[in-house]
Amino acid sequence: MPKSANQKQKILYLMQILLTQTDEKHMLSVGELITKLKEFDINAERKTIYDDIETLRQFGIDIMMGKAKSYGYYVAARDFELPELKLLADAVQSSKFITERKTRQLIKKLEGLMSKHDAGKLRRQVYIQNRVKSMNESIYYSVDALHEAISEDSKISFKYSDFNIQKKQVFRKGGAPYIVSPAALTWNEENYYLIAYSEEREGITHYRVDRMSCVRKLAEPRCAAAADFKLAEYSKKIFGMFGGEETDVKLRVNNKIIGGVIDRFGKEIIMIPDGENHFTVRVRVALSPIFYGWLFQFGELCEVLEPKSLKEDLIKRAKEFLSQLEK
């Protein structure tokens, strides 16, 4: 059989065909593989197909032989299984900071990690329209610049914006740049945040990455407070990315909501039994409206024991809320 111009690429195209067109329910016989290779202007004989499949197996691709209507070959295992890719697709869809256009591009790339038959299943679960999505296409370049600055211990500058009543972007500080020491990037409640140390505010603060623009890495090294930052410890104190004064709080909690407390603060907290139906726990939190909301949702099931100032502040806020309702 005469060789074609693409003969040296035969095993690569064979691998592509097996990865994109086969799975346990969709097998291709040797004859079908030869036919599909001809679509790429590649001639092949049965013996060379067997040899190439064995080479691909030795390379690490899990190619199996099975029987449907006839005997055929298929890729049995991949780097990502369908349920894992569905999970990733759901995460991409639900992420507010990823634009609608980029969402479609990313999911298209996820489809390339499975057979075309499973890709159809993934595509059917995709629902993007009418979801709240960012309009900032430059976020991907911002994230790259932020990671680079963190890895190189550098300060950054950027502009930060909000929206006005006309839904137009308005820069804070009149467009003057913010200069901070980046500490970490974190994903919270479907948004991407930069946690950084601000010398202007003399403390740790947060910025929505999709509201940042003109991000630049500076030559000046970041401060020690950012370099030594511990994200895991910090995330237990912060509610909804709202900063506030860090305070040790003692709570008396009903056993009915033990799951909610563990979900929020982790299994490492020390819970001391207090009677048959309650326990007490000490946690360190940043006092903020989001933390107050977390407490109020449990009502009588979660009581603040200490500090006294927090109890008084909660009573004051509750009275103000009732007064507003009565009006």
CB 65 within 8 A of CB 73: yes
Location of structure tokens 């907290």? 269
% of the chain exceeding 70 in pLDDT: 89
pLDDT (average), residues 5-33: 89
Q: What are the DSSP calls for 161-196, one per residue? A: EEE-TTS-EEEGGGGPPEEEEEEEEEEETTEEEEEE
CA distances from 179 to 61, 152, 167, 201 (A): 49, 16, 26, 11
CB 289 within 8 A of CB 242: yes
pLDDT digits (tens, 9 = 90+) for 115-136: 888 887 776 555 555 555 666 6
- Place 75 in a pLDDT band, splitting at 50, 70 and 90: very high
- Which run of H or E residues covers position 77? strand 71-77
Using CA atoms, how far apart are residues 1 and 264, in angstroms rounded to an integer?
68
Sign of the torsion angle spanned by Cα atoms 93, 94, 100, 102? negative
Q: Which structure tokens are listed for 2?
A: 């005469």
- SS3 state at 270: coil
- Place 141 in a pLDDT band, splitting at 50, 70 and 90: confident
CB 22 within 8 A of CB 115: yes
| Alpha-carbon dihedral 66, 71, 73, 75, rounded to 10 degrees | -30
pTM of the model: 0.56
Using CA atoms, how far apart are residues 170 and 159, in angstroms rounded to an integer?
10
CB 34 within 8 A of CB 40: no
pLDDT digits (tens, 9 = 90+) for 257-288: 888 888 778 778 888 999 889 989 998 888 88
pLDDT digits (tens, 9 = 90+) for 284-310: 888 888 788 888 888 889 999 999 998
pLDDT for position 57: 94
Using CA atoms, how far apart are residues 171 and 24, in angstroms rounded to an integer?
54
- SS3 state at 294: helix
pLDDT digits (tens, 9 = 90+) for 194-252: 989 999 888 888 898 888 999 999 999 999 888 888 877 776 666 555 666 788 899 99
CB burial of residue 58 (10 Å; 0-12, 13-18, 19+): exposed
CB 213 within 8 A of CB 170: no
Which residue, among 248, 303, 252, 307, has the nearest Cα to 279 in the 3D structure? Answer: 252
pLDDT for position 3: 58
